[in-house]
């Protein structure tokens, strides 16, 4: 009887493990598609959610209060780049570093080290978020004054920003746990939690802003509550998942934290550099006038939407590579990379067809009736040009994803800086003299240069399997 029970438990454990480890067992194209689709859908859903939140505030609060929200968001995310953006990049970069190591240990079956990384990340993020949240809460008024916020919306902006910073621990916890779920191949759970959080936030916005008349305070409080509940649910679900892996672990390991930082720091620098670079490109566009700027801004939104697809595929590749590297299934890494390129090609063709046939209708979604012929021309020219070259973005993202999964970050950083440098050089040197088209003409060249540098680094650093492993991996 005891033997039968043990056998039953063993079978159940094997079923759980085979389900969790599909990234190292299933056919690569199938595994990556299943893994990436929830990430793609989640990115699109997040965009829709952000738009809906702004609409609710604008409809029921009024223009001055909406301005307060915009000013706060600008302070927290954009304009206060020397403070908030840097720290957000730190958080995102740390998440990347932790995710790569979690995937690697998971693939290797070293669940003790995996759980140590998870615990170390959560502790580090908690401390960081408390420090950032406390600093932001205390100095919200000073930051708003530095941004020269109009006096009629200053108090509302400060109120909104303080609630935003109060929710930092929840925001950080949710994001790091989403990374952890993706690292063990569970991309559907973050999608479900995102949908739940978004719907809850919208419903609470309607209740607090429109129903209770709490204005900007209500909008901020709704976001805080939705983030808090989602973060707690994320933690409880992830905690239950971790209990399946019976192993000893440490609550905090300084050596593992050091390994995370070796991967995280280049990612932090890359994200910060891109953010600053795009601000410079925006400054180049501004002198061309309001309508040209409107057309450029419209297509930038379209570019961001389509890029989410390729970014999600690249993000899916990293845990896939890390898990298979940990499992010593080197041949599966190459097959997964080729599968990612197939997915990129399919979506690049889809993007081209959609843009080529509907670019005017797409532009009208952002420009509306007030858009002039110049705005539509700029938007259409930019959009149709990018539509022909999205495959370059796709192969760059896939290759960068492999490098991240292998923990090779320096070439990844260099490649992305070169990509940005090409875009900046052409825009700043040629656009003022020869027209706004030079702002985007060099974009595909930057993507392709990024791919070449990353690919050459990948070929030099490609892991080599033993003959035994090669035979086993087929």
The DSSP secondary structure of 158-219, one letter per residue, reads HHHHHHHHHTHHHHHHHHHHHHHHHHTT--HHHHHHHHHHHHHHHHHHIIIIIIS--HHHHH
* Chain position carrying tokens 């590579």: 321
How far apart, in whole angstroms, are the C-alpha atoms of residue 410 and residue 120?
Answer: 24
pLDDT, residue 273, reads 65
pLDDT of the chain, 474 residues: tens digit per residue = 433 434 443 444 444 444 556 777 778 888 888 888 887 887 776 666 555 555 565 555 544 454 454 444 333 333 333 444 555 666 666 677 777 788 778 777 778 888 888 888 888 878 888 887 888 788 877 876 765 555 655 676 677 778 778 888 887 787 788 778 877 777 778 778 878 887 887 888 788 777 776 766 777 777 788 878 888 888 888 888 888 777 777 788 777 777 777 777 777 676 666 666 666 776 677 677 767 777 777 777 777 778 878 888 888 888 888 888 878 888 888 888 999 999 999 999 999 999 889 888 877 776 666 667 787 888 888 888 988 888 998 999 899 889 888 888 788 788 888 888 888 888 888 888 888 888 888 888 888 998 999 999 888 888 765 443 443 344
211 and 69 assigned to the same domain? yes
Would residue 45 count as lying in a domain? yes
CB 440 within 8 A of CB 382: yes
264 and 229 assigned to the same domain? no
* Domain residue limits at 470: 255-474
Per the structure block, which two tokens stand in for 327?
A: 């499992």
CB 180 within 8 A of CB 118: yes
Would residue 15 count as lying in a domain? no
Half-sphere exposure of 84 (CA within 13 A, CB side): 21
247 and 260 assigned to the same domain? no
**End of a domain among 203, 223, 252?**
252
Would residue 419 count as lying in a domain? yes
Would residue 430 count as lying in a domain? yes
**End of a domain among 252, 272, 301?**
252
Please give the span between the terminal C-alpha atoms of the chain, in angstroms, as a whole number: 40
pLDDT, residue 276, reads 64
426 and 455 assigned to the same domain? yes
Radius of gyration (C-alpha) of the chain in whole angstroms: 23
145 and 268 assigned to the same domain? no
154 and 273 assigned to the same domain? no
195 and 291 assigned to the same domain? no
222 and 299 assigned to the same domain? no
159 and 226 assigned to the same domain? yes
Would residue 11 count as lying in a domain? no
Q: Shortest CA distance to 444 belongs to which of 466, 422, 414, 413?
A: 422
63 and 122 assigned to the same domain? yes
317 and 416 assigned to the same domain? yes
Would residue 19 count as lying in a domain? no
Per the structure block, which two tokens stand in for 429?
A: 């040197």
pLDDT, residue 399, reads 92
* Chain position carrying tokens 């900046």: 424
Half-sphere exposure of 381 (CA within 13 A, CB side): 16
**End of a domain among 235, 252, 269?**
252
Half-sphere exposure of 189 (CA within 13 A, CB side): 23
Q: Quick one: DSSP state of residue 244?
A: T
Q: Shortest CA distance to 311 belongs to which of 82, 96, 125?
A: 96
Number of domains in the chain: 2
Would residue 1 count as lying in a domain? no
Would residue 329 count as lying in a domain? yes
264 and 164 assigned to the same domain? no
């Amino acid at each position: 009887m005891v033997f039968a029970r043990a056998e039953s438990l063993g079978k159940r454990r094997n079923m759980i493990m085979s389900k969790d480890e599909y990234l190292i067992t299933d056919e690569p194209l199938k595994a990556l598609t299943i893994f990436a689709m929830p990430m793609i859908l989640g990115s699109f859903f997040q965009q829709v959610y952000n738009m809906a939140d702004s609409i609710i505030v604008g409809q029921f609060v009024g223009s001055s209060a909406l301005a307060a929200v915009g000013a706060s968001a600008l302070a927290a995310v954009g304009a206060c780049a020397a403070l908030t953006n840097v720290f957000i990049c730190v958080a995102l970069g740390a998440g990347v570093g932790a995710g790569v190591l979690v995937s690697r240990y998971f693939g290797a079956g070293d669940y003790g080290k995996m759980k140590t990384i998870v615990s170390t990340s959560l502790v580090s993020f908690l401390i960081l978020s408390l420090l950032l949240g406390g600093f932001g809460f205390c100095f919200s008024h000073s930051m708003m004054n530095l941004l020269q916020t109009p006096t009629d919306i200053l108090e509302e902006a400060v109120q909104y920003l303080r609630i935003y910073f109060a929710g930092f621990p929840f925001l950080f916890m949710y994001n790091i746990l989403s990374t952890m779920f993706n690292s063990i191949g569970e991309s559907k759970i973050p999608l479900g939690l995102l949908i739940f959080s978004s719907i809850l936030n919208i419903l609470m916005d309607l209740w607090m802003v429109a129903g209770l008349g709490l204005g900007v305070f209500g909008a901020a409080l709704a976001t805080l509550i939705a983030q808090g509940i989602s973060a707690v649910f994320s933690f409880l679900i992830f905690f239950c998942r971790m209990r399946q892996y019976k192993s000893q672990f440490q609550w905090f390991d300084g050596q593992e934290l050091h390994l995370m930082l070796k991967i995280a720091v280049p990612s932090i620098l890359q994200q910060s550099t891109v953010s600053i670079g795009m601000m410079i490109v925006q400054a180049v566009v501004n002198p061309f006038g309001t309508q040209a700027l409107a057309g450029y801004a419209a297509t930038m939104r379209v570019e961001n939407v389509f890029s989410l697809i390729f970014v999600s595929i690249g993000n899916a590749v990293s845990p896939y590579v890390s898990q298979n590297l940990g499992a010593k299934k080197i041949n599966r890494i190459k097959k997964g990379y080729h599968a990612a390129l197939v997915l990129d090609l399919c979506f690049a063709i889809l993007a081209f067809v959609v843009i080529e046939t509907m670019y005017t209708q797409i532009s009208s979604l952002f420009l509306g009736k007030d858009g002039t012929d110049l705005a539509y021309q700029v938007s259409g020219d930019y959009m149709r040009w990018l539509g022909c070259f999205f495959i370059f973005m796709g192969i760059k993202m896939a290759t960068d994803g492999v490098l991240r999964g292998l923990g090779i970050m320096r070439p990844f950083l260099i490649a992305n800086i070169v990509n940005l440098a090409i875009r900046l050089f052409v825009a700043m040197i040629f656009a003022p003299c020869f027209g706004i088209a030079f702002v985007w003409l060099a974009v595909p060249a930057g993507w392709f240069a990024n791919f070449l540098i990353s690919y050459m680094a990948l070929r030099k650093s490609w892991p080599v399997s033993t003959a035994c492993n090669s035979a086993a991996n087929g």
